[in-house]
Structure formats: C-alpha cells, structure tokens
C-alpha cells in the first residue's frame, strides 16, 4: 500500500509540478502535473502500489510510472504504508496477555482531587432542552467549521455538559467502589470513567477565556490552566483551529485521559480501547446536544497531542487530550 505523506503541498504550474514539504527542500517535476494530479486524486485513500501504477500508465509522462512512484517514495512524498500490520500489532497489544491486578480506585488521589476540589469559576444552570427531539437532533448533526462567534450563555453550557456529559441520576453515586461519580448520560467500561472533560472557553458569558475542568458532581467549571506557560501556548490552539479550517468557535471541549490512573489496570492494555470508545460516546452526546440546542460542532483529532495537552495545563504524556470538539453557532452562508 502507498499513501501520501502528511504535510505535502503539490502545485501545478502549466505542465510542471512543484512539491513542497515541511522538512525538506522543495523540488519540481517538469511535465508531471497531469500524472501527479491523477495520483493525488487516487491517493485520497491509501491504495495498493500496483493500482496507482496502472492508473498512471494511462496518463502521458516522461518515465515509466514505477520510476515516478519510486522517486516520490525516495523523496518522502509517498509513504509505503505499513499501517495495516502496525494496527494489527497495536490491537494485539491491547488484548489481555496476563492477569492484570485490579487496583482499588480509592488510590486515585489526583482524580479524586480533580473531581472535587479547585477554584470554582462557574456553577452551571441545570440542564434544560425544551421540546428537543432526538430524531431531529440526529438529522441536524453535521460537522460545522464556520461559526458566528456568538457569546454562549451559561445555560448553553449547562445543557451541553449536563446532558452531554453529566449525571443521568441524582445523586450520581459511584458505581465502582470508590470510583468516580456514576450513572452518567454515557456508558463507561466498568463505570471507571477514564475520560475527563476540559472546556476551553473562547466566548462564554461569565468566563474569562481559558481552560476549565468540568466537575460532574457539582455541575460546575473549575479554573484549570492559568499558568503563564499555558497562556503562552495559547496561539497553538488558534493554529490548530486554522489548520482544521475552523473559524469563530465559542468553545472547545477537550476529552483527556489520565493514563496514570491505577484503576485502569483492571482491563490491562484493553483499557486504552475502552477509553477511546468512551470518548466517542461522549463526543456524540455533546454533538447531539449541541445540535438540539441550535448549536453545531466539529470533532477534531487534527492537533499536536503534546502541544495541545500542555497548553491546556495537563501533565503530558501521563494526561493526554485524545479528542477535541469545537462548538458554536454555525455561520450559515448569506447570514
Ligand atoms: C475521530 C474523528 C476525527 C476527526 N477529526 C477531524 C479533524 O481533525 N478536522 C476536521 O476538520 N474534521 C475532523 N473530523 C470530522 C470529519 O471530517 C466529519 O465527521 C466527516 O467529514 C463527516 O461529516 P459530518 O460530520 O458532517 O457527517 C473528525 C471526525 C472523527 C469521527
């Protein structure tokens, strides 16, 4: 299989192709713009090398297609993708190979502190979504990338977090002994809830721009990252949004995982897979509540994991953002 390397820019000028890469010198391929255009179309998804070679054989070109592909691989434009075997190996590593110790979640001091302590920035109003229909929200959900920049009200956040990521039952008693608050609006393997939630407020009434932790028990936001370094890192978030074509979002939700939590030992490396499933459940809830509230969102993985996690105030790599969602009021064209 071959695929296009990340961060490649191929431009056509008349019959010639120009190739730019982040960490290598640019180069040109005279007379090859037609074949490269065809190749880029084909490699929107990785394909077997022979398939690309055959397709390029139908286009005019100076050298045999195999030579062109070989050159592009040497130049780092194409990658002979070993992803399939790598994923099989990664998946295999998440399967139980031995008995894992079940560690009492009671040892999770850092998590317990995050769940309960901290400087309260905003107590959210109880979640309300008058007359919302699940079927309508499901149909309305789509990835929006251009937002109006509307200032969201605490009630918007109350509904988003209270219904999307909050308690389904009052009080949300732990379901695992000494575990985190349970009975939430989304499922979690073993009710251990390894995914935690940060809100990066950009335009939210009553919140200074910055990062806050959502505490489910108090349905409130706690100041999280007020360090100088975090503030200095903030431009990387703008860059990340630009790279993903996102404009005018009112807030970002970051879903992060604390890999150091001992209770995750219950499932061994499979905990990783389960946590990612949980992040997916949570993200879908948030997107549906946004849609039902007349807002929209886009899920994002296109970020530098280390930079984003550090800029949010997390102790990367122990604590890492695995998923982000930009949310706001969608800019409908013509408005
Ligand atoms: C796991 C995941 C990661 C995604 N990452 C990004 C991203 O980094 N940037 C982006 O613009 N869209 C991202 N998306 C959104 C997809 O592009 C979008 O869901 C897809 O085009 C389907 O469109 P729809 O959501 O409107 O149905 C992601 C979606 C998923 C499920």
List the pLDDT tens digit at each of the 335 positions of the chain.
888 888 888 999 999 999 998 778 899 999 999 999 999 999 988 888 999 999 999 988 889 999 999 999 999 999 987 777 777 888 888 877 666 666 777 778 899 999 999 999 999 999 999 889 999 999 999 999 999 999 999 999 999 999 999 999 989 999 988 899 999 999 999 999 999 999 999 999 999 999 999 999 999 999 997 566 655 655 668 888 998 999 999 999 999 999 988 888 888 888 999 999 999 999 999 999 999 999 999 999 999 888 899 889 998 888 999 999 999 999 998 65
Rounded to an integer, what distance in angstroms lies between the CA atom of residue 220 and that of residue 197? 11
pLDDT score for 234: 57
17 and 115 part of one domain: no
Q: Residues 253, 289: contact at Cβ < 8 Å?
A: no
Do 56 and 132 belong to one domain?
no
- The pTM of this model reads 0.83
For helices 154-164 and 270-292, angle between their N-to-C axes, nearest 10 degrees:
140
Same domain flag for 159 and 260? yes
pLDDT at 186: 98
Å from CA of 8 to ligand 1 middle: 20
Crossing angle for the helix pair 49-57 and 65-74, to the nearest 10 degrees: 130
- Cα-based angle 218, 212, 312 (whole degrees, multiple of 5): 145
The preferred substitution site among 139, 143, 287 for testing ligand 1, maximizing ligand atoms within 8 Å of CB, is 143
Residues 194 and 258 sit within 8 Å (Cβ to Cβ): yes
Return phi, psi of residue 156, to 5°: -60, -45
Whether 91 is covered by a domain: the verdict is: no
Report the alpha-carbon angle 113-118-121, nearest 5: 145
Tell me: do 71 and 111 sit in the same domain. no
CA 238 / ligand 1 centre spacing (Å): 18
Cα–Cα distance between 122 and 136 in angstroms, integer? 30
**Residue 168 maps to a domain:** yes
User: In 3D, which of 194, 183, 222 has the Cα closest to residue 279?
Assistant: 194
Question: Are 71 and 137 found together in one domain?
Answer: no
Ligand 1 centroid – CA 44 distance (Å): 15
Per-residue pLDDT, 229: 61
Q: Is residue 90 part of a domain?
A: no
Q: Tell me, what CATH number does 295's domain have?
A: 3.40.109.10
Query: For tokens 């897979």, what's the residue?
Result: 273
CA 145, CA 150: separation in Å to the nearest integer?
A: 14
CA angle centred on 105, ends 222 and 226, rounded to 5°? 20
Task: Tell which atom from ligand 1 comes closest to the C-alpha of 246.
Answer: 11
Residue 12 lies in a domain: yes
pLDDT, tens only, 244-282: 999 999 999 999 999 988 888 888 888 999 999 999 999
| Ligand 1 shell residues, CB under 6 Å | 142-143, 244-245, 298-302
- What's residue 290's pLDDT? 98
Contact by Cβ (8 Å): 166, 185? yes
Domain span holding position 253: 105-328
Give, for ligand 1, the residue of 301, 305, 308 to mutate: max count of ligand atoms closer than 8 Å to Cβ.
301
């Amino acid at each position: 299989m071959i695929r296009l390397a990340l961060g490649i820019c191929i431009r056509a000028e008349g019959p010639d192709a120009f190739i730019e890469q982040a960490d290598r010198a640019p180069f040109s391929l005279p007379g090859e713009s037609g074949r490269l255009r065809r190749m880029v179309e084909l490699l929107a998804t990785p394909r077997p090398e022979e398939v690309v070679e055959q397709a390029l054989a139908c286009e005019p070109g100076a050298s045999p297609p195999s030579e062109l592909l070989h050159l592009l691989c040497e130049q780092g434009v194409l990658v002979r993708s070993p992803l399939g075997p790598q994923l099989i190996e990664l998946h295999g590593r998440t399967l139980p190979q031995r008995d894992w110790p079940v560690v009492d979640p009671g040892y999770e001091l850092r998590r317990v502190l995050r769940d309960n302590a901290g400087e309260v920035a905003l107590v959210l109003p109880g979640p309300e979504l008058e007359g919302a229909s699940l079927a309508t929200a499901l149909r309305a959900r789509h990835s929006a990338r251009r937002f109006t920049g509307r200032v969201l009200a605490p009630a918007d956040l109350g509904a988003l977090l209270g219904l999307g990521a909050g308690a389904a039952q009052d009080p949300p008693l732990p379901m695992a002994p000494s575990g985190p608050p349970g009975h939430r609006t989304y499922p979690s393997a073993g009710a251990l809830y390894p995914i935690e939630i940060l809100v990066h407020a950009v335009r939210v009434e009553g919140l200074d721009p910055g990062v806050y932790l959502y505490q489910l028990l108090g349905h409130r936001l706690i100041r999280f990252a007020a360090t100088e370094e975090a503030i200095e890192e903030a431009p990387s978030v703008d860059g990340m949004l630009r790279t993903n074509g996102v404009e005018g979002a009112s807030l970002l939700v970051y879903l992060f995982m604390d890999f150091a939590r001992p209770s995750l030992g219950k499932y061994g490396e499979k905990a990783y897979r389960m946590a990612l499933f949980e992040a997916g459940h949570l993200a879908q809830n948030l997107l549906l509540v946004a849609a039902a509230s007349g807002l929209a969102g886009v899920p994002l993985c296109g970020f530098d994991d280390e930079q984003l996690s550090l800029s949010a105030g997390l102790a990367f790599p122990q604590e890492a953002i695995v998923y982000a969602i930009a949310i706001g009021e969608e800019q409908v064209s013509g408005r």
